[in-house]
Structure 1
Amino acid sequence: MPDVFKPLLLSACASLALAMPAYAHPDTTTFEQSAFVEAPEIVDCTLEDGTEAQCHQITVGYLPEGLEIGPFCPATLDDAGGIWGWSGENAGLYRVDGNFLRMLDGLGYRFFDEDGNVYSVDNATEQPTVDHACINVSVDESVEITMLLPVDSVMAKTPSDLGVVSKIGVALDDVPIFSDAPPIQVTGHMPALDTCGGHVDPGGWYHWHGTSTDVETVFDAQGVRADCALEQDASAQFGYALDGFPMFGSLEADGSVPVGLDACGGHIAVTALGETYHYHTSDDFPNLPACLVGVRAQNNFTTTATAGVGAQRAGEDGRNEAPRPEGGPGGMPPGFDTAADTLGITAEALLEAMTAAGGRDADLAEVAASLGIQESALRDALPLAPGQ
């Protein structure tokens, strides 16, 4: 190569290097090691775009040791429970207390009796017998959860939207992270979150619906009187998304406000992990990415539970001979799982379609069309509301 071209080639290579995104790799040593049921390992996996790859396989229990959870549902209108992101009239984040429940009552959602006792149901042992109940699920200490994170993150051709109860990632304390919980307008019920933004799945294991280590930024922005017992650090890493990219709080490592965020809430900037693409939280709730830019692994989330997200049904592996009452992900009405199975779709897809069409009063023709199924089949499969 003539020497005259070498400076041009070096300049071009330097420009290309600057243009190429920097991707951090998940580091399993940064997770809370005591919560692992077994040591993380690297296994062969297939990404959702069909690419053969390698993934970190991590298996955790129902709840990290020492993590205190709750409160969720208040016992009476005089008590204060957890928090809830209400999406109807007067939308916003609220403390689940008498003021909030009375507001819902004025909108046609009554969660309490004439004496001010809040209707509360443990989906692990019973099903709601009223139209509107606060869901407060007990834990199942036997449950194990297995998640896959790509060793090498791969950008997807287009970001994947995150609807209701979508799997997002795993926190550094080994607690799974999910998108927004199902709205009251669809399920009729409220699977209340605690003041750190988590609750128990119908399968009996705890998970986050928000960035718990920066949730008080949201409280301050929205005027919510609540405290999370976890240490708050708006610039700290919260966890990893299931596409392998790290998730941080609402500030950069140097305490500055992030700039140039994309539609998913991420960008490339310097972090404690080096310069890499990463997601940031916001001061809205749920304070999580709106979408994921990377490609996730197939079968990236499974549990040994017999209900809820990632559940294995009783008898499939000889375990869980006495399954919990059927409950859909995050507090769906009883029968949603069965309806979805009958229709040949996932419970998450059914919930998402119902939510988009307006909830319990959705136009079922519209829902059926969006799912590519017959309206008559949908009507036959959907469970009836209590008392019908």
Structure 2
Amino acid sequence: MSQRPVGRLILLPILSMATIPMLVSAHVDPTKFTPSAFVEKPAVVECNLEDGSSAQCYKFTVAYQPEGLEIGPFCPSNIDEKGGIWDWDGEKAGLYRLDRDFFEMLADQGYRFYDKDGRIVISDPGSGQPPEADHTCLMATPDKDVTITMLLPIEPRMAEKALSLGTVAKVGVALDGVPIFADAPSVLDTGHLPALDVCGGHIDPGGWYHWHATSTDIATVEKTEGVAVNCALAQDATAAFGFAFDGFPMFGSLEADGSKPEGLDKCHGHMGETRLGKTYHYHASTEFPNLPTCLSGVVAENNFSTTSSTGIGSQGNARRGPGQGMPPGFEEAAQILGVSTEDLMNALKGNGQRPNIAAAAEKLGVTEKALRSALPQPPQHAR
């Protein structure tokens, strides 16, 4: 069975700015967003980029979910209903609708998500309680009070090396204000299925909605994968979807004139004319997940935070000083495992200096391999 990368950032070689002398950058433009996307007027702030340089960033604050956005379905209540979708990466890999055929296929492979009466076992990853069963369909509860703040460089800069996007890594923000994240955690790693709706999104344990796909071009993916679903969003393979966290725009799988993009790099981006001007930009792929696999530009430090008490970017996980708060990478690990950050930290606490991984995995209801894979690697010390 195939394994997905864990949510860590890896540096990959890419063309530097110096190698693209004719680059003209279409800067991040708040006027391109849906007027109702923001709960506060976008502000220009000073920010630090991850290459050590300083810049100006737009500060965007959005709600837990755009007003009027139709989301769902996610987990069906039983195997005779149709839920959302899932990109299965085990035997018979591919994009599937969450229905009887899919769940019976998983059961044949040792992943049974329903009881003897055909009812789907559902758990809420934001409840603070680990799943009681070995295999559950994850469906978080929305929190209408949560807001999300994001920082995007106003003037994008190409990086010396591309930033790889592993599981649940931050990709960008859509034009309606919905955050965009990389591939969702694999069932093979956690045993649990964080169901996506028919537009490729779901609710974070922190209570806010986000996408794991270019949802305005998901019809192209469905056609390629042979899955019939009906995303309520208007579909346009040539349209702008949003801006990546490095400030470069993201488009559907086709150019503005309807042609297929040429000369795409490893991040699925290239230089060219767009509806936003001449700039480096990303294109959606035709297979799921149809997002960039890496970012070619430099992102801002601390570019994502929420008012939630749990989940990625939550205030409760902010480091409060040396030896206090949430260690770096633990938010992402909790998201990958489908548990709360509090449960992850509590499970890893022990009497000794080193946690008992096997005991912690049992307490969390995940495999020891999944826990080790999700946890951030310790820093390498010079000898």
Band of TM-score, shorter chain: 0.7 to 0.9
CA gap of 1:338–1:365, structure 2 versus 1, over 3 A, is closer
CA gap of 1:68–1:334, structure 2 versus 1, over 3 A, is same
For the residue of structure 1 that corresponds to 2:198, the secondary structure is: coil
Distance in 2 between residues matched to 1:140 and 1:363, nearest whole Å: 28
C-alpha RMSD of matched pairs (Å): 2.9
Contact 1:43 1:54 in 2 (8 A): yes
For the residue of structure 1 that corresponds to 2:57, the secondary structure is: strand
**Equivalent AA in structure 2 for residue 66 of structure 1:** G
Count of paired positions: 338
2:144 corresponds in structure 1 to 141
1:205 corresponds in structure 2 to 208
1:118 aligns with 2:124: no
Distance in 1 between residues matched to 2:229 and 2:52, nearest whole Å: 44
Distance in 1 between residues matched to 2:375 and 2:255, nearest whole Å: 44
Deviations 1:236-282 (A, max 9, x none): 00000000000000000000000000000000111001111000001
Distance in 2 between residues matched to 1:42 and 1:71, nearest whole Å: 37
TM-score, length basis structure 2: 0.82
Contact 1:202 1:328 in 2 (8 A): no
2:339 corresponds in structure 1 to 333
Higher relative contact order, chain-length normalized (CA < 8 Å, sep 6+): 2
Contact 1:201 1:331 in 2 (8 A): no
2:7 corresponds in structure 1 to none
1:276 corresponds in structure 2 to 279
2:369 corresponds in structure 1 to 362
- Say which of 41, 47, 50 aligns to 1:48: 50
Distance in 2 between residues matched to 1:296 and 1:18, nearest whole Å: 19
1:232 corresponds in structure 2 to 235
1:241 corresponds in structure 2 to 244
Distance in 2 between residues matched to 1:108 and 1:67, nearest whole Å: 36
Matches within 5 A, 1:160-171: 160-171=163-174
Contact 1:150 1:297 in 2 (8 A): yes
Deviations 1:43-92 (A, max 9, x none): 00000111011000000010000001000001111001000011111111
Distance in 1 between residues matched to 2:76 and 2:371, nearest whole Å: 34
2:354 corresponds in structure 1 to none
Distance in 2 between residues matched to 1:255 and 1:20, nearest whole Å: 24
Contact 2:36 2:67 in 1 (8 A): yes
In structure 1, stretches of 5+ residues that fail to align are: 1-15, 318-325, 344-349, 375-388
In structure 2, stretches of 5+ residues that fail to align are: 1-17, 321-330, 351-356
Q: Percent identity?
A: 53
1:308 corresponds in structure 2 to 311
Contact 1:202 1:331 in 2 (8 A): no
**Equivalent AA in structure 2 for residue 338 of structure 1:** M
Distance in 2 between residues matched to 1:369 and 1:229, nearest whole Å: 37
**Equivalent AA in structure 2 for residue 241 of structure 1:** A
Matches within 5 A, 1:77-116: 77-116=79-118
Deviations 1:195-231 (A, max 9, x none): 0000000000000000000001000001001111100
**Equivalent AA in structure 2 for residue 294 of structure 1:** G
CA gap of 1:186–1:368, structure 2 versus 1, over 3 A, is closer
1:172 corresponds in structure 2 to 175
CA deviation after TM superposition for structure 1 residue 305, in Å: 0.5
Distance in 2 between residues matched to 1:260 and 1:72, nearest whole Å: 36
Distance in 2 between residues matched to 1:108 and 1:180, nearest whole Å: 23
CA deviation after TM superposition for structure 1 residue 234, in Å: 0.1
Matches within 5 A, 1:344-359: none
Distance in 2 between residues matched to 1:129 and 1:363, nearest whole Å: 17
1:298 corresponds in structure 2 to 301
Contact 2:126 2:340 in 1 (8 A): no
Contact 2:42 2:60 in 1 (8 A): yes
CA gap of 1:331–1:18, structure 2 versus 1, over 3 A, is closer
Distance in 1 between residues matched to 2:287 and 2:212, nearest whole Å: 12
Deviations 1:326-383 (A, max 9, x none): 993266235664279879xxxxxx9xxx9xxxx9463988888954589xxxxxxxxx
Distance in 2 between residues matched to 1:341 and 1:42, nearest whole Å: 40
Contact 2:148 2:306 in 1 (8 A): yes
CA gap of 1:53–1:107, structure 2 versus 1, over 3 A, is same
Distance in 1 between residues matched to 2:259 and 2:196, nearest whole Å: 29
**Equivalent AA in structure 2 for residue 62 of structure 1:** Y
Deviations 1:164-222 (A, max 9, x none): 00000000010000000010111111110000000000000000000000001000001
Structure showing greater radius of gyration is: 1
Runs of 4+ deviating beyond 6 Å: 314-317, 339-343, 363-369
Contact 1:202 1:330 in 2 (8 A): no
